[in-house]
Structure 1
Amino acid sequence: MTNRYRPQPRLGAWTASIAAAVAALSLAGCVNYAGIKSDKHIAPPASYETQQSLPAEGGQWPSLDWANQFGDPQLRKLIDEALAGNPTIDQARARIEKASSTVGTANSALYPKVTGSYSWTRELYSGNGSVPPPINGTWQSENNLLTNASFDLDLWGKNRERLRQSVSQEKVAEAEAEEVRITLAASVASTYNQLARLYALRDIEVREVKNREDIGHITEGRVGAGLDTNVERQTANGDTATTRSSVSDLDGQITTVRYQLAALLGQGPDRGLKIANPTLGEGANVALPDNLPADLISRRPDIVSAYWQVDAATHGIKEKKAEFYPDVNLSAAAGLDAFGWGKFLTAGSGQLQAGPAIHLPIFDAGELRSELKGQYADFDYDVATYNQTLINALSDVATQVTEIHSADRQLVDAQQALDAQTKAWQLALVRYKAGLNQQLQVLNADDNRLAAETAVVNLEMTRRSMQIGLIKALGGGFDASQAGLAANTETPIPARSGGAETH
């Protein structure tokens, strides 16, 4: 039997020995990160000029139920259905679960690890080997039971920084999931508004078919009276057929948009065919919230995601720096080891071993320094991404507001044009009936009226689409503090005043 029990030194002696070894290795170590740093930092909103483009107007931030303002209950139900069943939402949830599992893995490194093992071997020992009698030349069975425990002291915080990095990455995934939710809701609303646009245009074309038929009847009467010829008759018939073709084209577009809506809902194309005709209203007045640039960073999930990505990169740098210092692990093992079963469970079969293990990189041909430079490059990239995301967000809001105000001004002129073109068409039609105008004049007047009416409808629908875009640009009801993604309660996403140099 082999007894592997070894007398162990006192705990105080262990501590002194470890401290001395760590100090000696630290002094002897040649690998360092001197000169590797970054001066990049995320830009505060105040660093960008927005006073003229984004004036304070006393408006409210969008709420999560922003779709209700358009007065169409079906829109709210469609958005809820999409958020419940679209595969992109499931993908976002899966990414969160993946990030959460990484947090659990990183957290486990902060605690001791305990494992157990048992082995049984049957071996014929050589009769002419180094094993003495009576074992040599015989078959022997060996039982080995061992319990191992190990603990990384994490003196320099490497494991703790890895955990913090994982937590930040989990927040990135959560913010990205919010971005997916907001984007999906806005896509449903925009596509639904497109369906409303097509139905409105179809209504115009259906009325136009009636108008062209009326002109055709007048033409038939004029041909019979000898005032028009077969040319005018065929022209009227051709225009009526062309208008019917436009109705058929719009019917095809309507069906296509219904299929698009079904896909957004996470359903088959038949689901789109069951959607009722939209009854969208104008929506709430457009007014920007006060303190918009500063508050926008906590209202846009893409900015929040970019912030936590920078935070994760910061912890990645700290973790990598900790690898330049000695790594100290404590390990211990206890168990039983004996030939055969007779003495396996006796005190004499006990085995016990314990001790520290210290690792320090002394020469690695520049590997650690290169990896740290890579971490700083990731940090610089993430900072630039955050800054670009903030710039894009401010531009997005300003663009949507400008386009809405432009559409409002265009609608005033377009409505006046429609009123004038409608009166011109009515007068031309009366004069045509009376034989005072040629057919071409009434057809031109009708074309002008049709174009004016189409322009008004398109402007109204485009404005609503821009309004939906502005809601999305303002965060779509997202709030970092309510979502548990704020850095702290006073400054949800604080800007760093310095670089990433950490020690």
Structure 2
Amino acid sequence: MGSARPQSAQLDANALQAGSAIAADDAHGAWPSEQWWQVYRDPQLDRLIETALRDNPGLREAAARARQAEAMAGVGQAATRPHVEAGMSLQRELFSEHDFIPAPEAGNYAWYNRVALEAGYDLDLWGRQRSTLAAMLAEKKVADAEAQLARLTLEQAVVRSYIALSLEHALKDLANDRLAHRRQAVQIMQKRLAAGLASEVEATQLDATLPALQLEIEAHEERIAILRNQLAALAGKGPGSGESIARPAMRLDDADALALPARLPADLIGRRPDVTASRWSVEAAAKEIDAARAAFYPDINLMAFIGFQSIGFTKFLSGESSVRGLGPAISLPIFDGGALRSKLGARTAAYDAAVERYNGTLVYALESVASRLAVARSVEQQLHLNERALATATRARALAQQGVKAGMTDYLILIDSEVNLLSRQQDQARLLAHRLESHAELMLALGGGLPSADVAALDKQARSSDQSILLGKVQTP
């Protein structure tokens, strides 16, 4: 077998430093529910996700791959069981004059007929077939986890586009409000111009700002239409279906803020689909190494057959034409030019690659949770700071409007106050949308919501004395 040995080792999730962002949490929260997006309290969003989970082609493709992997596991399981085949051959051939066939058939054409039942069973003394089956079952788990990841990614894509749609509506409203206030300022300027209190240049400059605001509103309309089309496509529908999507009505109460669950690093392995898929890939690679090692040993099969065999049809199915046999079939590789050793080396390298991929996914998973928590806390602080700035900007604009109306303030001061207020209002709208999006991204980082049956299975594993699956431990081959 040479010196091919695994060189990589799996990381222990609990041995990784979770960081202050995770440690600062009270760690007494609950995991996300299966319908985690319902926390936004928007029935239209619920319907969109329900439709997407039912009709999205990408999600259906992922489910088909999972079924394909399950079927292939059935093929591997069949190799561990006895097999029986029925065969019949009827062929007319020219028999040699110098073979074991006697006259009158020797040197002449005749029918050679055979019908038999043939049975075989691979004893699998070294576990090659069992290891191959175990690898296929692990690949089936990988496909299941990838299907769950596709589901979670789709859910988050719908929520993200829906939040963006909500933001565009809010920004469009702000632009409309600004346009309305600017038109009022234009009317005031026209009155001042008529009274000889303003110049034609001032009135023209103020009036010239209206088309830019109208262009901004049109740009928001464009993005709203595009986002509706995106949501319709995610739901597996045509663009026409997106035209009926109304303005979102999302909200996230402070009481819905998610506290991290206890034992986060370890439980995260069983919750995140990408970590689960990587862990099962390691398991599959380990079993493939076992199968590659078993190929170095003799392969012993039990073979048996029973049936009828004759030349011609006269006594084809009579007792004198019956044949039967039973015995082992043994094959042992002696010299293959290093093919088996190379295959073992390839399987070992594949195992190392799977382990490092798992380690990288695990590190990324913890980083993702910590980063999402940091973002969520920062957004809350930014919201509080911007609320104070928004109140100040609102008062400044109101004072500027009064001054312009009374002829005491230059219109440029009003425009500056409007620009400052709009900036603060836009920041507030974006921060509110960012708050919703950061919550959705935290759901993705935690692995989303699992079906109740999967949650029960995880709880059972947690109570079990054998923590190998929960903690992602795979025995090194």
TM range (shorter): over 0.9
Partner Cα separation in structure 2 for residue 375 and residue 183 of structure 1: 31
Aligned-pair identity (%): 34
Q: Is the 8 A contact 2:265 2:366 kept in 1?
A: yes
Alignment of 1:493 with 2:470, yes or no, is yes
How does 1:108-147 map onto structure 2 within 5 Å?
Answer: 108-123=78-93, 132-136=102-106, 139-147=109-117
Structure 1, unmatched stretches of 5+, are 1-32
Range that drifts further, 486-495 or 468-477: 486-495
Range that drifts further, 84-93 or 38-47: 38-47
Matching residue of 1:10? none
**RMSD of aligned residue pairs (Cα, Å):** 2.1
Tell me the alpha carbon deviations over residues 244-280 of structure 1, each in whole angstroms, 9 at most, x when there is no partner: 1111110011001111111111111111111111000
Matching residue of 2:231? 261
Partner Cα separation in structure 1 for residue 96 and residue 124 of structure 2: 47
Q: 1:385 aligns with which of 330, 333, 357?
A: 357
How does 1:57-456 map onto structure 2 within 5 Å?
Answer: 57=26, 58-123=28-93, 132-136=102-106, 139-283=109-253, 284-456=256-428
Matching residue of 1:50? 18
Q: Is the 8 A contact 2:393 2:424 kept in 1?
A: yes
Q: Is the 8 A contact 2:2 2:341 kept in 1?
A: no
TM-score (norm 1): 0.89
SS at match of 1:336: strand
Q: How far did residue 93 of structure 1 move?
A: 0.9
The AA in structure 1 aligned to 2:470 is: I
Tell me the alpha carbon deviations over residues 157-204 of structure 1, each in whole angstroms, 9 at most, x when there is no partner: 110111111111000000111111111001101110000000011111
Partner Cα separation in structure 1 for residue 88 and residue 295 of structure 2: 34
Q: Is the 8 A contact 2:400 2:409 kept in 1?
A: yes
Partner Cα separation in structure 1 for residue 110 and residue 230 of structure 2: 74
Q: Is the 8 A contact 2:267 2:471 kept in 1?
A: no
Range that drifts further, 33-42 or 76-85: 33-42
Tell me the alpha carbon deviations over residues 294-337 of structure 1, each in whole angstroms, 9 at most, x when there is no partner: 22111111111111111111111111110011101111222212
Q: Is the 8 A contact 2:19 2:370 kept in 1?
A: no
- Greater radius of gyration (CA): 1
Structure 2, unmatched stretches of 5+, are none
Q: Is the 8 A contact 1:428 1:445 kept in 2?
A: yes
Q: How far did residue 369 of structure 1 move?
A: 1.2
Give the paired residue count: 468
Range that drifts further, 224-233 or 247-256: 224-233
Partner Cα separation in structure 1 for residue 461 and residue 258 of structure 2: 30
Q: Is the 8 A contact 1:41 1:496 kept in 2?
A: no
TM-score (norm 2): 0.93
Q: Are residues 129 and 250 of structure 1, via their aligned partners in 2, closer, same or farther at CA, if it must alter by over 3 Å?
A: closer
Q: How far did residue 40 of structure 1 move?
A: 2.2
Q: Is the 8 A contact 2:86 2:117 kept in 1?
A: yes
SS at match of 1:54: helix
Q: How far did residue 243 of structure 1 move?
A: 1.1
Q: Is the 8 A contact 1:216 1:237 kept in 2?
A: yes
The AA in structure 1 aligned to 2:329 is: A
Q: How far did residue 479 of structure 1 move?
A: 6.7
Q: Is the 8 A contact 1:304 1:485 kept in 2?
A: no
Q: How far did residue 127 of structure 1 move?
A: 7.6
Partner Cα separation in structure 2 for residue 363 and residue 129 of structure 1: 33
Q: 2:442 aligns with which of 452, 470, 483?
A: 470
The AA in structure 2 aligned to 1:234 is: T
Tell me the alpha carbon deviations over residues 69-97 of structure 1, each in whole angstroms, 9 at most, x when there is no partner: 11111111111110000011111111111
Q: Is the 8 A contact 2:40 2:250 kept in 1?
A: yes
Q: Is the 8 A contact 1:41 1:497 kept in 2?
A: no
Q: Is the 8 A contact 1:115 1:148 kept in 2?
A: yes
